Amino acid sequence: MSAPQAAPEQPWQRLNPRMIVVRPMHDGITLVPVLFFYLVFGEGDRLKIILSCAAFALLLAHGLAHWYLTTYRIDAEQVQLRTGLVSRKRLSVRTDRIRTVETTAKFGHRIFGLEAVRIGTGQQVKEHEDELKLDAITKAEAERLRLVLLDRGRKAREAPEPGTASAAEPTAEAAQPVPPRAEGTVLASIQWAWLRYAPLTLTGLTASAVIIGVFLRALNELQVDPASVGAVDWAVDTVRRNSILVDVLLILAVLLVIVVVGGLIGYVVQFSNYRLTREPDKTIRVRRGLITTRSITVEEAKLRGISVREPALLRLGRGARTVVIATGMSKRDQTPLLIPPAPKKVAHEVTRDVLRAEQPPTAATLLRHPPAALRRRLVRALAFAAVIIGGLAIAAAAGGLPAWPWQLALVLVPICLWLGIDRYRSLGHALSGPYLVSRSGSAQRDTTALQRTGVIGWTVRQSFFQRRSGLVTLTATSAAGRGAYHVFDLDQGEATAFAEAATPGLLSPFLEPGASETEPAELGSPA
């Protein structure tokens, strides 16, 4: 029997030549508005125009050099990339280390039918620092590479140890292209009724700040005083003529309009064409974006759970969003978004479908925390109000301030009281099948379902004040996501019993005899 032949060495390839134009478009996008204003509204400052054109020429030359000096090669065992002008770099990733494949298409990419492919290995490197990214290749080639790389990575991890009878077979097979796959099963897609949640996020403020910043920068480059602009001058004159109450109401109305409009625009730009699918190759794929499209693929075998997040405003509208918890994710992608702001019910349904569970673990009935946890939150909340009110009262008694500020600050007492109660009501924990579920937070309530088999250790922490109340914070350590998931302010005996029930035998060597005799059903009452 003849030995299997090794796969032929793959040749080095260059990126698509169209990136010579695309890269300068992306690098010099901030110069376009300035140059446009100079050409259309400028006062003949030729030097600035010449310098701007020279900058574009340099960017074009840089794009040409990057294309010429960047080559890549993909074989059965690794992906290699050579790049750099002054400092040459050669990056290499073994196929069995590939955890995610992300494709991104900015506006320039989409014009020329290109995409950028970024290969994730889970290494904690800074963005753009030694990351293996192919920018840019054709859309068809990017899709082919996504399938090939994930397929080869899975086969490399499942291959027998060297020296076995079939050790060489996967290598020869992996060298062949992966045939086209069937379309994946759609788990969720964009529903435009979800637009009602756009104003309940910070997207509107962010988008509005960016637009205002670009406008002010353009005025500054043109050396135009904002007060000389007709609309600005009219607004300032209107504010001066009105009473303070009317001005406050007008400003609030304008801010509301900006937040709503900006939120709608930001939501459409970020989440248009959103689609969550389960692919035939046992991966979960998320695609979204209007101007810049992004697609990230994660192996189902690497999933360790899901977190449902409810920021305060979104929670008021009964909305939520979900992020995935998976091993092998880099710091840049520790929490890839599974679903945009949407109804809370939909978020739980997505959790159920992605995790292949009969019922969504994030919607499980949670156990209450001890009354001492409520007292801790009320004391801290009221202490904050007391410090603010006391400071203002002392300043008023010393003659530095009038009396009305500390009197107005008394409204903090019921607000802080409500906040403390809400933070306690948000606390909860449970075991739901193969998942450990914990919930906490008020400004942002997080409900996390973490696979019990994904817990690699426990940390029991007790502060000075917790010790006086007989409480501890239990932390589940995992190789997935952010690495540590907390269950705050549990009774000490309850914490050890919960940890032992979640991961039998993991904590028992460190427990005193009889410390974990409490049955899981007796850990508390439903929250």
Classify the C-alpha dihedral 169-172-173-174 as positive or negative: positive
The arithmetic mean of pLDDT across residues 94-107, rounded, is 83
pLDDT at position 53 is 74
- Bridge partners (DSSP) of residue 436 are 431, 450
Tokens of 182: 């069937």
Instruction: Encode pLDDT of 160-206 as tens digits.
Output: 555 544 433 434 443 444 455 557 789 999 998 999 998 888 766 67
- The pLDDT assigned to 519 comes to 39
What region, left, alpha or beta, does residue 181 occupy, with left being phi > 0 and alpha being psi -120 to 50 degrees?
beta
Lowest mean per-residue pLDDT among 86-90, 136-140, 204-208, 361-365: 204-208
Distance CA 351, CA 345 (A): 10
- Using an 8 Å Cβ cutoff, are 267 and 443 in contact? no
pLDDT (0 to 100) of residue 87 = 77
User: Tokens 């478009």 map to which residue?
Assistant: 25
φ, ψ of residue 443 to 5 degrees: the values are: -60, -35
Query: Is 522 a residue whose pLDDT tops 60?
Result: no
The pLDDT assigned to 297 comes to 87
d(CA 517, CA 502): 14
To the nearest whole number, what is the mean pLDDT of the chain? 79
User: Which residues contact residue 97 at a Cβ distance below 8 angstroms, ignoring those fewer than 6 apart?
Assistant: 121, 122, 153
Q: Give me the mean pLDDT over the 507-513 stretch.
A: 62
Domain residue ranges of the chain, discontinuous segments joined by +: 13-180, 192-271, 275-363, 364-369+427-527, 371-424
Of residues 465, 472, 469, 464, the one with CA closest to residue 493: 472
According to DSSP, residue 526 is labeled B
Averaged pLDDT for residues 134-145: 86
Per-residue pLDDT, 518: 40
Q: With 90 as the cut, is the pLDDT of residue 351 above it?
A: yes
Res 334: pLDDT: 47
pTM: 0.78
Region 55-81 average pLDDT: 84
Both tokens of 215, joined, read: 């406008």
The pLDDT assigned to 172 comes to 40
pLDDT for residue 41 is more than 50: yes
pLDDT at residue 243, as a whole number: 75
Q: What proportion of the chain, given as a percentage, has pLDDT over 90? A: 29
How many residues are present in the chain? Answer: 527
Q: Is 72 exposed, middle or buried (0-12, 13-18, 19+ CB in 10 A)?
A: buried
Amino acid at residue number 1: M
Residues in contact with 29: Cβ distance below 8 Å, sequence separation at least 6, in sequence order: none
Per-residue pLDDT, averaged over 395-411, amounts to 87
Q: The domain 364-369+427-527: what is its CATH number?
A: 2.30.29
SS3 content of the chain, % helix, strand, coil (to 5): 50, 25, 30
Euclidean distance between CA atoms 256 and 321, whole angstroms: 23
Least confident of 93-97, 180-184, 240-244, 389-393: 180-184
> In degrees rounded to 5, what are phi and psi of residue 339?
-145, 140
The model's pLDDT over 425-471, given as tens digits with 9 standing for 90+, comes to 999 999 999 999 999 998 899 999 999 998 999 999 999 989 988 99
Partners of 133 in the beta sheet? 118
Strand order in the sheet with 471-478: 455-461, 471-478, 484-491
Mean pLDDT of 484-512: 84
**Nearest-5° angle of CA 345, CA 483, CA 283?**
55
